[in-house]
Structure 1
């Protein structure tokens, strides 16, 4: 009887000490990026958030497309860093990103299982306005005269961004931004992006950017803002608001240069949005 009791206790102890189920470890994908070329990642579902280990790794969703991410290095001295992409189907794609003058791959496609080199369908944004209507309104707003301004950026190399007005129409926000070049050197445009980020992040924490896709923009790659010239730019985005502890940022990068313009907006600035002016046909 004693042996039976001891045996039962021992069996219970063995069962109690068995390891519990733990989440599986997700392997990292190795990526190479350059300052001179863009690496494109295509996912099987819409991208909901992008987490970069360092801000020197640039990441931007393709305009009007939810599941395609463009990445590149801001400088050729960028050290290895992490990148996590979170998709609408619950997927998490972890990467280790390193700099290379000549990346091995320029485009990587992921299937639903995460395998490489399978092309998933592309998902387009749903917008209350048609693309043609957004373009039509944006091109009219470029010539809109206004004495208002909501927010100014710091001067960088004689350049400055000024948010003059923000308009809301049928679920679309139209940002009217003036780009001023007070320097003697023209500013060739590389790209523009918009994203939401927490206001305060320590150096020890990674940077969580939630991309806000630009549905339409009146400034394009390699457009030039000549010296001592001001240019109006309209950026159209789907309507959104942000909490007090977050900020919305607009960034404009110089092609083959280091002038990086940065305009940060609070939630209260977005709440100043106005209806479209009466002279804008829609």
Structure 2
């Protein structure tokens, strides 16, 4: 109300969609919800008429997409698609990278790369009768000889995106997760650690991913 002048609105969605709108006040707007997806232009015959005196808001395909800073030079929509494809295909391309104690096993199933993003496919298995609540997941670059003995000389990595991030792994169940990380290589005297911390518990898990496994990441 009392909004007489025209203004504009810019929206950037999580998957990198970029949209601009001319905004007018309407007491009873013809459109109250918009699906912000990049769509192909519609023929004029298929477009709904605008409310009298007010242009209909649209999300034109020409707006395109932007690259969000937290995923580097990769398009967020591409990262999301890669995560989903890895999870859906559920392949095991890496063997022998695992940790198991207290009846909880964490295993790396695959390491992949596409453009400037590393994708790590993991699985948590709970062989006990007690649910495993996940408090935190983190990736750390650490000195190989000191990885299990000290927190010194460690560098945390930002997780860009996650596909399937369960808060709880029930007893005798397993859950898979795919992580997207910034492109990285590490020297032979360091390892990449995946740490999974149990909430209100002590069954924390640490998996060591050798430097060579990152160099051998499978190209998507």
Q: Shorter-chain-normalised TM-score: which range?
A: 0.5 to 0.7
Residue-by-residue CA offset, 1:190-233 (whole Å, 9 max, x unaligned): 1100010111239997602111111012244x621111112111
TM-score by length of 2: 0.63
Q: Distance in 2 between matches of 1:212 and 1:255?
A: 21
1:136 to partner: Cα distance: 2.6
Distance 1:273 1:202, change over 3 A: closer
Aligned match of 1:187: 132
CA contact (8 A) 2:93 2:111 kept: no
Pick from 157, 167, 173: which aligns with 1:212? Answer: 157
**SS of the counterpart of 1:242?**
coil
Distance 1:203 1:258, change over 3 A: closer
Tell me, yes or no, if structure 1 residue 135 matches structure 2 residue 77.
no
Aligned match of 1:83: none
Aligned match of 1:264: 208
Aligned match of 2:172: 228
Tell me, yes or no, if structure 1 residue 201 matches structure 2 residue 146.
yes
Residue-by-residue CA offset, 1:114-141 (whole Å, 9 max, x unaligned): xxxxxxxxxx535121333222321221
Q: Which runs of 4+ in 1 moved over 3 A?
A: 201-206
1:149 to partner: Cα distance: 2.8
Q: Distance in 1 between matches of 2:215 and 2:150?
A: 29
CA contact (8 A) 1:151 1:265 kept: no
Distance 1:248 1:206, change over 3 A: closer
Q: Distance in 2 between matches of 1:228 and 1:202?
A: 29
**SS of the counterpart of 1:185?**
coil
1:152 to partner: Cα distance: 2.9
Distance 1:158 1:237, change over 3 A: same
Tell me, yes or no, if structure 1 residue 252 matches structure 2 residue 192.
no
Tell me, yes or no, if structure 1 residue 164 matches structure 2 residue 104.
no
Pick from 230, 242, 250: which aligns with 2:186? Answer: 242
Distance 1:270 1:216, change over 3 A: same
**SS of the counterpart of 1:125?**
helix
Aligned residues: 153
Alignment root-mean-square deviation, CA: 2.5
5+ long unaligned stretches in structure 1:
1-123, 277-282
5+ long unaligned stretches in structure 2:
1-68
TM-score by length of 1: 0.50
Q: Distance in 2 between matches of 1:204 and 1:192?
A: 19
